[in-house]
Structure 1
Amino acid sequence: MCLGIPGQIIEVKEGGQFGVASILGVKREVNLSCVYTPDQPEAAVIGSWALIHVGFAMSLIDEDEAQRTLEILKEIGELQEEMDAIAQSGSRA
């Protein structure tokens, strides 16, 4: 099953299409085009939480929703499976 995993955007790379998100401490390059445009200040997304799916920050969510989602995923056992898939994908930031 494919899930969106909450991650915190910690960097916007030059050009603005890509950035880095921290997903439970694992830094991954992500495509920001669904949540950020280069005409916005970087501060508009840095520190924000997003649902990350297949390398894309799909939508911004608030921190409470991110934490609740992580807890629910832990409870149902999906989080470890998704984290293993992220770790094996090889596109680290």
Structure 2
Amino acid sequence: MCLAIPGKIVAIDGDDAYIDFGGSKKTANVSMVDAEVGQWVVVHAGFAIEVMDEDEAQETLKLWNDFLDSGEADIKKPQ
């Protein structure tokens, strides 16, 4: 399963951007969006698929953290 996660662009080099995901920096392709350094993007499978504003990104990250902290993320494999 792949998840789309928001991250903040810290640098762009051609079609590749260096994106900060809460301290973990990864590279993603930004050729599908019109994004600039400092903007937040939703990244899925190595591609930025949407530009979002910071408030929306922070709310999404809060919801993810609340979900992870709730214990509901502990999904058991079927037997």
Same fold judged by TM-score > 0.5? yes
Greater Cα radius of gyration, structure 1 or 2: 2
Higher strand share goes to which structure? 2
Q: TM-score, normalised by structure 1?
A: 0.68
- Aligned counterparts of 2:24 and 2:12: Cα–Cα separation in 1: 16
Q: Which residue of 2 aligns with 1:25?
A: 23
Structure 1 portions without partners, runs of 5+: 37-43, 82-93
- Aligned counterparts of 2:3 and 2:64: Cα–Cα separation in 1: 9
Higher RCO (C-alpha 8 Å, min separation 6):
1
User: 1:53 Cα deviation (Å)?
Assistant: 1.0
User: 1:35 Cα deviation (Å)?
Assistant: 1.1
- Aligned counterparts of 1:66 and 1:19: Cα–Cα separation in 2: 17
User: 1:48 Cα deviation (Å)?
Assistant: 0.1
| Identity between Structure 1 and Structure 2 (%) | 40
Q: Which one of 49, 52, 61 corresponds to residue 70 of structure 1? A: 61
Q: Which residue of 2 aligns with 1:34?
A: 32
| Equivalences, count | 70
Matched, 1:59 2:50: yes
Q: Which runs of 4+ in 1 moved over 4 A?
A: none
CA RMSD across the alignment: 1.8
